[in-house]
Amino acid sequence: MSDRKELPLVGQPDSAPGGECATCSHRENLVQLGINMQDWDYIVALAGNPNVGKSTVFNALTGLKQHTGNWPGKTVARAEGGFQFNGKRYKIVDLPGAYSLLSASVDEEVARDFILFGKPDCTIVVVDATQLERNLNLVMQVMEITDRVVVCLNLMDEARRKGIEVDDRALSRHLGVPVVPTAARHGEGLGLLMRTVAELVQGQIKTAPHQIQGNEEFKRAVAELAPMIESAFPGLPNARWVAMRLLDGDYRVRQALESGELASLMQ
Amino acid sequence: MAETKATPQEILARADALKQTLDVTFRDKIVESIYADAESIAAKVVRKAGERQFDLDQKIDRIVTSKVWGLPLMGFLLAGVFWVTITGANYPSQLIALALFWIEEQAAALFTAIGIPWWATGFLWHGVYRGLAWVVAVMLPPMTIFFPAFTILEDLGYLPRAAFNVDPFFKKAGAHGKQALTMSMGLGCNAAGVTGCRIIDSPRERLIAILTNNFMPCNGRWPTLIMLAMLFVAAAFPPSFAAFAAAGSLLFIVLIGVAMTLIVSAVLSRTFLKGEASTFVLELPPYRRPNVLQVLYTSLLDRTLFVLWRAIVMAAPAGGVIWLMSNIHVADHSLTTWVSGWLDPVGRAIGLDGVILLAYVIAIPANEIVIPTILMAYTNTGMMIEIESLSELRHVLVDQQGWTLLTAVSLMLFSLLHNPCSTTIWTVYKETKSAKWAAVSAVMPLSIAFILLFVLNQGAHLLHAVF
């Protein structure tokens, strides 16, 4: 029933990257995820809740005319495009809209697997400025998987119209990652978004993502398991998250651990 | 522990042991923590200047999703889209047909003049090209109107409201409310609708949605339905009222499709795919003003041309097959005559005939070419005939082939209910990874079509005999 098979297991710890290109993190997995890596310097994933203007951001960045629709579930498969910025070529992969990455449905799993196993150089999480609270759920889940996150605070025009003010600097401070306010429909803020992504992938911006707090029980269990995972897979960027998923009984993550797929994610 | 490297097995064992110590609601605890963090951050950075601002959206929603007005409004909007499509597409269709068939004549004459053998000219121009010309003439104008109109509804944010309105029915049927969204996609293309079922979380409900998507007529079937509505339904009413009646009959067909979807979903969820309907959160997005230029651009390029291209790719070989079948003679009759003769008893039993069934077999790759194929087999001239006006078309069907309103209704129902096209069946296979479900998705609707039409027609004959 699921698309699991289309996202192949890698299972070759020896073939872990680190060779050809120091900045582009994870070519092999990306190639196996169906990404043509020729001609691209960086891979950028585009995530977000359904219906936050993600496809509009994608189109605005790439100049492609992917159909956008005002209803959840428009983008069920992955769309790809690219842009150039300061002489570097960025490939953007538009992921299906998802409310969470706890992989309840196939489209959420597609998004999750891409961010986890594809290890994009940067993940832009598009959020709806008028529904910030609900959208932050996904941001926090993405930030547990990767620290290379830029939040695109979209639909600022709609927020203004509704008299909602969002303090993007404060938000950035609380989240520990860059936040760029945009109104993608009118092209507002997209230049800054590209520049921020460029600075992030080149290491000029360092992030310190907010971590999910949780109750005492949660903290205790994660605090016990995460160091174990870290010691087994030094350099794994998301040991905490893996621990969380294992405690939740996530079959896919379990499988990745057993098959060695997880090991290939070490930096 | 931290000094020696743990093996994956050790980690998993530790995780399992820890899990034992955790509350069974651990996942809920994670989700709660995330929500709590989100709430506290949002509270610090968001400032609202008065809540009253949301009122307009809410007022509209109160009408659009109201228990009283929601469903009638939906029907009205859908009928409106059909009406605009029918009224607007009629004239351009005829113009395009004229132009394309003129090209065919000129080209065929040129081929003959320069001494190219008749069979090559016939196969190429009267077979392949004519198939293409028909598809373009019949499909392009309605699609150029239907898709943008539908896209505007989509961009406005109407579809989730529609899904909300029909959710109670799906719940009763044991299916997922989001199925209404995948059905809307099916109105464009069933293959897209089947892929769209990925938005449904539960495998059981997703499978139900996949298997029933075919009951939404796709744009390959719209031309057949629209033509029959115009020829037989509209003709039964005075001209000033004809377009309304035709649009109404199309709406009726869609409603039958919805009813079939619900019935089949209910049966499946009580038999082979047992289970309760799962709850879900459906977001009602804010209404947004559609960007008209972009709607035109994307719906014309992405959908109209894409779909048309697919139809053309499918129609060209089908046109060739039809030409060959009608021109290869075995024992004094063309292959078309033979095969349709064999199929005739089956066809008659369900109110159709052998030719129509043959057309449906040839049209398995693309439903778009059903009507051209039927016409060509009827006229038996060895090529798809050109019909320049609807009255001529009516003449062929009614006076020469003895079609009645019952034939038209049977064909409309068959078009709605029969098996999906090969692309859709293949998509079902890809999405379910199961040849069994792919087969079910084809055989089940076809059986339903046969049974329903058999009952309808035998019932009609019985009534006719009694009164």
Which of the residues B32, B165, B199 would you substitute to probe the A interface, choosing the one with the greatest number of A C-beta atoms within 10 Å? B199
Q: Which of B54, B200, B294 sits opposite A105 (nearest CB)?
A: B200
Neighbouring CB atoms inside 10 A of B99's CB total: 12
Same domain, A192 and A217: no
Return d(Cα A250, Cα B237) in angstroms, integer. Answer: 62
% residues pLDDT > 70 (chain A):
78
Q: Which of A1, A71, A221 sits opposite B154 (nearest CB)?
A: A71
Return d(Cα A198, Cα A182) in angstroms, integer. Answer: 17
Does the beta-carbon distance from B44 to A170 stay under 8 Å?
A: yes
Does the beta-carbon distance from A107 to B198 stay under 8 Å?
A: yes
Same domain, A186 and A64: yes
Return d(Cα B148, Cα B303) in angstroms, integer. Answer: 9
Domain boundary among A186, A210, A234: A210
Return d(Cα A17, Cα A23) in angstroms, integer. Answer: 11
Given a cut of 70, whether residue A25 has pLDDT beyond it is no
Mean pLDDT of B405-424: 89
Lowest-confidence segment of B73-77, B83-87, B372-376, B383-387 by average pLDDT: B383-387
Same domain, A159 and A34: yes
User: Does residue A216 belong to the interface with chain B, where contact is any CB pair within 8 Å?
Assistant: no
Q: What is the pLDDT of residue A31?
A: 54
Q: Considering only residues B233 and A166, tell me which one the structure prediction assigns the higher pLDDT.
A: A166
Does the beta-carbon distance from A105 to B198 stay under 8 Å?
A: yes
**H/E element, A126:** strand A122-128
Q: What is the pLDDT of residue B55?
A: 66
User: Does residue B282 belong to the interface with chain A, where contact is any CB pair within 8 Å?
Assistant: yes
The amino acid that residue A256 corresponds to is A
Same domain, A113 and A22: yes
Count CA atoms closer than 13 A to A215's CA, side-chain side.
12
**Cα dihedral: A208, A213, A218, A222 (round 10):** 10
Mean pLDDT of B201-225: 85
Q: Considering only residues B222 and A193, tell me which one the structure prediction assigns the higher pLDDT.
A: A193
Which of the residues B29, B41, B158 would you substitute to probe the A interface, choosing the one with the greatest number of A C-beta atoms within 10 Å? B41
User: Does residue B303 belong to the interface with chain A, where contact is any CB pair within 8 Å?
Assistant: yes
Lowest-confidence segment of A49-53, A154-158, B210-214 by average pLDDT: A49-53
Does the beta-carbon distance from B47 to A232 stay under 8 Å?
A: no
Return d(Cα B340, Cα A52) in angstroms, integer. Answer: 54
Domains: count for chain A: 2
Please identify among residues 102-131 of chain B the ones whose CB lies closer than 8 Å to any CB of chain A: none
User: Does residue A266 belong to the interface with chain B, where contact is any CB pair within 8 Å?
Assistant: no
Mean pLDDT of B82-89: 80
Q: Find chain A residues with C-beta within 8 A of B5's C-beta.
A: 231-232
Residue in chain A lying closest to B207 (CA): A1
Same domain, A149 and A43: yes
pLDDT digits (tens, 9 = 90+) for A118-168: 888 999 999 999 889 889 989 999 998 899 999 999 999 988 888 889 999
Query: Exposed, middle or buried: residue A52 (CB in 10 Å: 0-12, 13-18, 19+)?
Result: buried
ipTM of the complex: 0.79
User: Does residue A6 belong to the interface with chain B, where contact is any CB pair within 8 Å?
Assistant: no
Same domain, A193 and A232: no
Mean pLDDT of B359-367: 83
Return d(Cα A7, Cα A109) in angstroms, integer. Answer: 10
pLDDT confidence bin for B263, thresholds 50/70/90: very high
Same domain, A121 and A252: no
Q: What is the pLDDT of residue A249?
A: 79
Q: What is the pLDDT of residue A10?
A: 31
Given a cut of 50, whether residue A217 has pLDDT beyond it is yes
% residues pLDDT > 90 (chain B):
12
pLDDT digits (tens, 9 = 90+) for A107-120: 778 788 888 888 88
Greatest extent of chain A over all pairs of C-alpha atoms, in Å:
54
Query: Is this structure's pTM higher than 0.80?
Result: no
pLDDT digits (tens, 9 = 90+) for B5-56: 778 888 888 888 888 777 767 777 777 888 888 888 988 888 877 555 556 7
Return d(Cα A224, Cα A266) in angstroms, integer. Answer: 20
Same domain, A72 and A102: yes
Given a cut of 70, whether residue A78 has pLDDT beyond it is no
Strands B333-334 and B329-330: antiparallel
Highest mean pLDDT among A65-79, B281-295, B385-399, B411-425: B411-425
Find, among B397, B411, B322, the residue nearest to B362 by Cα: B322
3-state helix, strand, coil in chain A (%, to 5): 45, 15, 40
Neighbouring CB atoms inside 10 A of B67's CB total: 8
Same domain, A200 and A94: yes
User: Does residue A18 belong to the interface with chain B, where contact is any CB pair within 8 Å?
Assistant: no
pLDDT confidence bin for A215, thresholds 50/70/90: confident
User: Does residue A68 belong to the interface with chain B, where contact is any CB pair within 8 Å?
Assistant: yes
- Phi, psi dihedrals of residue B457, rounded to the nearest 5°: -75, -40
Q: Considering only residues A76 and B18, tell me which one the structure prediction assigns the higher pLDDT.
A: B18
Q: What is the pLDDT of residue A24?
A: 42
Q: Find chain B residues with C-beta within 8 A of A1's C-beta.
A: 203, 206-207, 432-433
Please identify among residues 171-200 of chain B the ones whose CB lies closer than 8 Å to any CB of chain A: 178, 181, 195-196, 198-200
Same domain, A141 and A236: no
Same domain, A172 and A202: yes
Q: Please give, rounded to a whole number of angstroms, the shortest distance from the CA of A204 to a CA of chain B.
A: 25
CB distance B307 to B143 below 8 Å: yes
Given a cut of 60, whether residue A69 has pLDDT beyond it is no
Domain boundary among A190, A210, A230: A210
Q: Find chain B residues with C-beta within 8 A of A210's C-beta.
A: 37, 41
Return d(Cα A170, Cα A168) in angstroms, integer. Answer: 5
Q: What is the CATH number of the domain that holds A190?
A: 3.40.50.300
Q: Which of B30, B46, B181 sits opposite A244 (nearest CB)?
A: B30
pLDDT digits (tens, 9 = 90+) for B157-207: 787 788 888 888 888 888 887 888 888 878 777 887 888 787 787 788 889
Domain boundary among A210, A230, A246: A210
Per-residue CA distances from A142 to A104, A120, A132, A207, B35 (Å): 15, 12, 15, 13, 14
Structural domain of A246: 212-267
- Phi, psi dihedrals of residue B385, rounded to the nearest 5°: -75, 160
Mean pLDDT of B343-361: 88
Given a cut of 60, whether residue B447 has pLDDT beyond it is yes
Q: Find chain A residues with C-beta within 8 A of B19's C-beta.
A: 247, 249
Please identify among residues 17-36 of chain B the ones whose CB lies closer than 8 Å to any CB of chain A: 18-19, 21-23, 26-27, 29-31, 33-36
Does the beta-carbon distance from B154 to A140 stay under 8 Å?
A: no
Same domain, A186 and A265: no
Mean pLDDT of B81-93: 79
Does the beta-carbon distance from B11 to A254 stay under 8 Å?
A: no
Return d(Cα A159, Cα B174) in angstroms, integer. Answer: 38
